[in-house]
């Protein structure tokens, strides 16, 4: 049962994560999304923030990211297949969220919080809505195809917001896990 439930929950997390782009430069929806995640976690997101920083550092050490700049992240997405060839270890981002959702205490609050984002009037014309449209046109796109679609939506400045780093590392966890099966 756990073998069936974990991939389903991972897919749900990734879909929900990808469903959280905001339409403007204020990053209101992204910030709300991250708040939903932080409130899901017992430590208010302290471990997740640490994992995001460590993941970023691992990618820099592996020479997949030049530095922490938005330009570096954009270049990373242009060559993302090198990061999902199965050599990169699991970054632990998805595992942390799956464990919190399976723990269940804050899962309902998380679902309500996410629903608030998806039903927000600003969602309709957001980056999020554009991405949902792109990502639901195929079941599980190749990472290079998805990265190309994301690059059409991303801006360099987006990577100053933790949401975009979270999304990046969640994608890496998902695609690297599928390579190891």
The overall average pLDDT reported for the chain is: 82
> Mean per-residue pLDDT for 130-150?
74
Report pTM.
Answer: 0.81
Is residue 116 domain-resident? yes
In a domain, 23, yes or no: no
- Count of domains in the chain? 1
pLDDT tens by residue, 36-95:
999 999 999 999 999 999 999 999 999 999 999 999 999 999 999 888 887 788 899 999
Domain holding 138, by residue range, is 40-180
Cβ–Cβ under 8 Å, residues 43 and 135: no
Q: How do residues 92-118 score in pLDDT, each as one tens digit?
A: 999 999 999 997 778 999 999 999 998
């Amino acid at each position: 049962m756990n073998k069936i439930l974990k991939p389903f929950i991972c897919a749900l997390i990734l879909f929900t994560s990808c469903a959280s782009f905001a339409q403007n430069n204020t990053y209101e929806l992204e910030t709300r999304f991250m708040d939903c995640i932080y409130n899901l976690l017992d430590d208010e997101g302290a471990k997740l923030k640490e994992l995001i920083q460590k993941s970023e550092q691992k990618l820099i050490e592996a020479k997949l990211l030049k530095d922490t700049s938005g330009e570096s992240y954009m270049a990373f997405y242009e060559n993302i297949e090198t990061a999902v060839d199965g050599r990169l270890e699991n970054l632990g981002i998805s595992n942390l969220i799956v464990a919190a959702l399976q723990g269940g205490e804050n899962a309902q609050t998380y679902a309500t919080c996410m629903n608030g984002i998806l039903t927000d009037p600003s969602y309709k014309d957001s980056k999020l809505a554009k991405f949902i449209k792109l990502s639901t046109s195929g079941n599980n796109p190749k990472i290079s195809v998805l990265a190309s679609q994301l690059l059409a939506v991303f801006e360099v400045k987006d990577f100053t917001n933790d949401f975009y780093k979270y999304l990046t590392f969640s994608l890496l966890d998902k695609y690297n896990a599928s390579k190891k099966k």
